[in-house]
Structure 1
Amino acid sequence: MTKPVENPALVAAKEAQRKIDEALDAGRSFRLEAGAGAGKTYSLVAALKRLITERGQALVQAGQKVACITYTEVARNEIAQEIEDHPAILVDTIHAFSWAFLRQFQKALRNFIESMDDRREKIEQGGGVGSKPVVYDLGFFGVDASHITLGHDDIPAIMAKFISQEKFRQLFTKQFPIIFIDEYQDTDRQFMEAITENFLKVGNGPLIGLFGDHWQTIYRSEYELADYPMEEIGKGSNFRSAPAIVNVLNKLRPELTQAVRDPNAFGEARFFHANAYTGPRTDDIHSKQDLPAELAKSTREDLINRLQTEGWDLNKTKILMLTHNVLAAEQGYPSIAKIFSGRTELFAKKEDPAIKFFAEIVEPMCAAYNASRYGEMFRIFGSGPAIMKHTDKIAWREDMDTLQKLRIEGTIGEVIDHLKSAGRPLLPDRLLRRDEELIALNGDPIPEDATALQRYSKLRNVHYKEVSELVKFIERQTPFATQHSVKGAEFENVLVVLGGGWNHYNWPQLLELIKSKSLTNKNIKGYYRARNLFYVSISRPMTRLAVLATQSMSETALETAKYLFGNDYVEELAISNQ
């Protein structure tokens, strides 16, 4: 019987895993560069499971752990579940991990805080450092009569400083002989520099394993690959996308060529542009050489309708727009998008406690109540109705009716105040603490470093109707998304819309520079920023990819499009100049 041939993606993945195993066995630090769709998390979990099998018992007996540092709580939970929370592995976010290590050194923390010249005024106003305990729970720096609170940004910065001291490096290495860092390209830069300077460059300390992809750096200002003196392991597989799409990715990124799962799988990748339009185009600070707003919208809608007639299932299609600001105006949550500008993942991935609460509890409860699905409503609520008498039932109905009215007519703050009073549903602790922090200021200005509290304060004044529209977007009840919000996600079909909606991304220039390679000090940062977001966007689909460029494209830019997609798959749309 003929042995079945393994798919090329699996062969490439096994080769990468073999190299990881070799590095672990030899005690060598390494960096796994896993392109889109390669299965980066699978490799990380496989390495953790191997360590558990081979060294788990010894680590536990020695009081040591493998540290696995993640970028988000979602990733932390996913990995912890995969390894069944094994006691030899500590999986946590950079802040939780760092604070768990730092909190045991109270005297050293106080000494460090004493040296923070930029906090001198706050320290003196709070009565000095003294012997007060140092805590981390509010998210911003503060000193009062009983304790000192560290801010969100303080934690990785202090961790980096501690790692630079030999005493703490030794203690750190003793506790954590192996450290894995997931999404290394998005991890705090000060922390990564401390790891590089104090461990990697000197060849001492823990074995470090970095897992990620520097081409998918889209949340920070440094987009190029940092200098990590360690073995690079490329994972040249793509388990997500059809060959037609992977071909585009490989042309864009030839240094990390990916093998596909099924070389004969159906798929398509096409590029559409709007150069046929010769009428007036946009020319302002945020948008250059784009179609007028209404024409851009109708062009997009016409293309979507056409793709549907050509076999695209719109129920399995995601439309990626440039920014939340562009999309939010159409979808109905512009104020929320503005408040979270620059930190879109906080609401797009429900990392903000208020957004998470509204999306996962309030909106589903109200939807169930409107549909008279009371059993589902109480399931979301988290407990039985506790209705002992008729007045209890009336109280429930009155509270829910008030909530429904506020959802339509009130602000987010009014909804929160109502729920604080009614408790149906109860506010989560994180949101309640944030509200109490705002009240405790008693009208005083919010500290500059309390960015989360500043966002919350602004959020309270927004009409709640925006939340309802935002939740439809977050829970994928609309076909739209932004490139930033879908990192790590995959969809059957994807239409990527490249327009002039934000001056941080110059798509015509990106396509020109891909061909010309004419990088200068002036354009290099913008090039990498746009390249990475473009790469993330076009690597989301499994079967069908279409890119719509509504800005005017130069001949050089179109030559790049033809090189990437193929001459037969680049099309100029017929657009009326009326």
Structure 2
Amino acid sequence: MNTLTRTKGIDNLDDHVDDEIAACLNLKAPRSFFLFAGAGAGKTRSLVTALHYIQKNLAEQLRPQGQQVGVITYTNAACDEIKRRTSFDSLIDVRTIHSFSWSLIEGLNRDICNWLLSKLSDDISQLEFEESKGRKGTKASVARQAKIESKKQRMATLPRIKSFNYSSTGDNRRHDALSHAEVLQITTHFIRTKSAMQHILIGRYPILLIDESQDTNRELLDALFSVQSAFQNKFILGLLGDMMQRIYHEGKEGLGEDLPQDWATPEKVLNHRSPKRIITLINKIRGTAGKQQEPRSTAPDGVVRMFVLSNRHTQKSP
């Protein structure tokens, strides 16, 4: 094998991955999947490629049923980018996790009220128990009593609220508004406990793709796993991520491990972005995780520069 053929083979290592994902996106034989893609591997490109496949091959099945493909990603900027790359097609519903959650529970005012009454009652009971065991007159005691009073006041106002409101980008300080945390908690509870909510979810989104899944709220993700398990023949859950790039503590530990045997687990190993020395360092850091990357044939070696200055210098040039 000559050098040109060998390097071309390296650059084509991941060509099969998008085909594997496309094979999962079969509404007659649905298959959920977890795509591992490390830094610079082109995870978003694979997500957009999958959406283009859906637009071309599944639109005629989904649109007449009023169904969409749900996409959850982490930031509004990422939402806007994916919408742009899919031509702002209404078939593709791209949202942040909070916006997605609110879209499921908005208008369920009585159920939301009942959940809040139960949650506030539990919170008050816990705070009163802690207060009974704590020292009176301390800052902690004063803070607990303030929280108890605030929660009691909120409980008193709930029966008068006709409709709850929420903004995924606002501070939600109105008396009829829900907090960001409450929206996630309520959605998770409804998905876990309400059969109607499960059917609303899979009826609206027979395909749900979650970008940066390593940072997705673990409780909500577990609830979605339970729906996928119960409706394997009607619901495709596609996760894209890399546990080594996890930033937020609310993500699910060990995501990608111990998946159901019928899940597909495509993996991208080519790093399109980094010089070879950076990839060598990444692989050493990833050593215990068993996930290694390869550089492109055209990747530069990279340069490391170290500057050593005396700490006696009061001014240092940039």
- Structure 1 length-normalised TM: 0.44
Superposed counterparts of 1:327-476, under 5 Å: none
Q: Which residue of 2 aligns with 1:194?
A: 223
Alignment RMSD (CA, Å): 3.1
Q: Which moved more, 1:41-50 or 1:227-236?
A: 227-236
Q: Which residue of 2 aligns with 1:185?
A: 214
Q: Which residue of 2 aligns with 1:153?
A: 181
Q: CA 1:61 to 1:237, structure 2 compared with 1: closer, same or farther past 3 Å?
A: same
Q: Which residue of 1 aligns with 2:294?
A: 259
The answer to whether the 8 Å contact 1:183/1:212 transfers is yes
Letter in 2 for 1:188: N
Three-state SS of the structure 2 residue aligned to 1:218 is coil
Identity of aligned residues (%): 29
The structure with higher relative contact order (CA 8 Å, sep 6+) is 2
How many residues are aligned here? 276
Query: How far 1:169 sits from its partner (Å)?
Result: 0.3
Q: Which residue of 2 aligns with 1:295?
A: 311
Q: Which residue of 1 aligns with 2:105?
A: 102
Selected match of 1:162 from 166, 190, 215: 190
Aligned pair 1:93/2:122, yes or no?
A: no
Q: CA 1:297 to 1:18, structure 2 compared with 1: closer, same or farther past 3 Å?
A: farther
Query: How far 1:190 sits from its partner (Å)?
Result: 2.0
- Structure 2 length-normalised TM: 0.76
Letter in 2 for 1:159: T
String of CA shifts for 1:168-220, please: whole Å, max 9, x gaps.
10111111100000101111222112112332477465200111111001232
Q: CA 1:163 to 1:256, structure 2 compared with 1: closer, same or farther past 3 Å?
A: same
String of CA shifts for 1:73-123, please: whole Å, max 9, x gaps.
010000000001112110111111111221132332222223222385132
Distance 1:297 1:96 in 2: 52
Q: Which residue of 2 aligns with 1:171?
A: 200
Distance 2:238 2:254 in 1: 16
Selected match of 1:111 from 94, 109, 114: 114
Q: CA 1:251 to 1:272, structure 2 compared with 1: closer, same or farther past 3 Å?
A: same
The answer to whether the 8 Å contact 1:217/1:223 transfers is no
Gap runs ≥5 in structure 2:
125-150
Q: CA 1:192 to 1:273, structure 2 compared with 1: closer, same or farther past 3 Å?
A: farther
Query: How far 1:64 sits from its partner (Å)?
Result: 0.3
String of CA shifts for 1:127-181, please: whole Å, max 9, x gaps.
x3246111113534653xxxx2111111111111111121210111111100000
* Structure exhibiting the larger radius of gyration computed from Cα positions: 1
Distance 2:252 2:100 in 1: 25
Q: Which moved more, 1:92-101 or 1:104-113?
A: 104-113
Letter in 1 for 2:88: D
Distance 2:243 2:37 in 1: 9
Q: CA 1:298 to 1:63, structure 2 compared with 1: closer, same or farther past 3 Å?
A: farther
The answer to whether the 8 Å contact 1:243/1:260 transfers is yes
Q: Which moved more, 1:234-243 or 1:192-201?
A: 192-201
Q: CA 1:142 to 1:123, structure 2 compared with 1: closer, same or farther past 3 Å?
A: farther
Q: CA 1:296 to 1:89, structure 2 compared with 1: closer, same or farther past 3 Å?
A: farther
Question: Which is richer in strand?
Answer: 1
Letter in 2 for 1:163: I
Superposed counterparts of 1:505-520, under 5 Å: none
Query: How far 1:31 sits from its partner (Å)?
Result: 0.8
Aligned pair 1:218/2:247, yes or no?
A: yes
